[in-house]
């Protein structure tokens, strides 16, 4: 088993490791935010109206589910699962479409528009164009 992990890590491109760690960090932050919504506002927010507290609990549960999914995605990238490559590509395409839609509706000026596009475009280009990434995921 240990030799399998060494083989996997020796052929995992550095960029995939970085994106996997960023997704894991995002998962941790989302789970922390979910706990804050559920416990801080929902269960222990005694001075907050009941309907807001109920919304906070549901929002926290949804965020917790999303954080768990992000953690699973991070593990998939770290262990070079093919489905995680496709999922990251899909998420980055959605990010780019969202940024383009926000710009087209006038929510972003030119500088924030360009700055918001940099990371999704770099990640998408790296995952689609790099030969080492395709070899690592057997695509």
**91 shares its domain with 66:** no
Pair 99, 134 in one domain:
yes
Pair 93, 130 in one domain: yes
Say whether both 58 and 85 belong to one domain.
no
Give domain status of residue 4, yes or no: no
pLDDT at residue 10, as a whole number: 59
Euclidean distance between CA atoms 75 and 49, whole angstroms: 39
- In 3-state terms, what secondary structure has residue 23? helix
pLDDT of the residue at 53: 83
User: What does the pLDDT read at residue 6?
Assistant: 47
d(CA 67, CA 135): 28
Can you give the pLDDT at residue 3? Answer: 47
Contact 55, 95 (CB under 8 A): no
Cβ distance 117 to 99 under 8 Å?
Answer: yes
pLDDT at 129: 93
Note whether 19 and 74 are same-domain residues: yes
Per-residue pLDDT tens listing for the chain (139 residues):
444 444 455 589 999 999 999 999 999 999 999 999 888 887 787 777 877 888 888 999 999 999 999 999 999 999 999 999 999 999 999 999 999 999 999 988 889 899 999 999 999 999 999 999 999 998 8
Q: Are both 75 and 29 inside the same structural domain?
A: yes
The angle, 0 to 180 degrees and rounded to 10, between the axes of the packed helices 110-129 and 82-104 is: 160
Q: Does residue 138 sit in helix, strand or coil?
A: coil
Domain that holds residue 66: 14-79
How far apart, in whole angstroms, are the C-alpha atoms of residue 136 and residue 9?
A: 10
Per the structure, the count of domains in the chain is: 2
Which of 7, 55, 61 is closest to 34 using CA atoms? 61
Burial 96-124 (b: 16+ CB within 10 A, else e): eeebeeebeeeebeeeeeeebbeebeebb
Exposed / middle / buried, residue 47 (Cβ in 10 Å: 0-12, 13-18, 19+): exposed
Task: Indicate the pTM of the whole model.
Answer: 0.80
pLDDT of res. 52: 82
Confirm whether 54 is domain-assigned. Answer: yes
If asked whether residues 99 and 54 sit together in one domain, one would say no
């Amino acid at each position: 088993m240990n030799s399998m992990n060494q083989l996997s890590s020796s052929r995992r491109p550095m960029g995939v490791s970085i994106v996997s760690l960023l997704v894991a960090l995002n998962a941790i932050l989302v789970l922390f935010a979910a706990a804050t919504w559920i416990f801080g506002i929902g269960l222990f927010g005694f001075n907050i109206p009941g309907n807001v507290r109920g919304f906070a609990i549901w929002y926290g549960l949804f965020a917790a589910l999303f954080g768990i999914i992000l953690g699973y995605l991070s593990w998939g990238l770290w262990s070079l699962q093919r489905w995680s490559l496709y999922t990251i590509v899909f998420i980055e395409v959605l990010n780019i479409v969202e940024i383009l839609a926000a710009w087209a509706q006038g929510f972003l000026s030119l500088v924030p528009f360009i700055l918001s596009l940099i990371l999704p475009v770099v990640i998408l280009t790296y995952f689609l164009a790099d030969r080492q990434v395709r070899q690592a995921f057997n695509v």
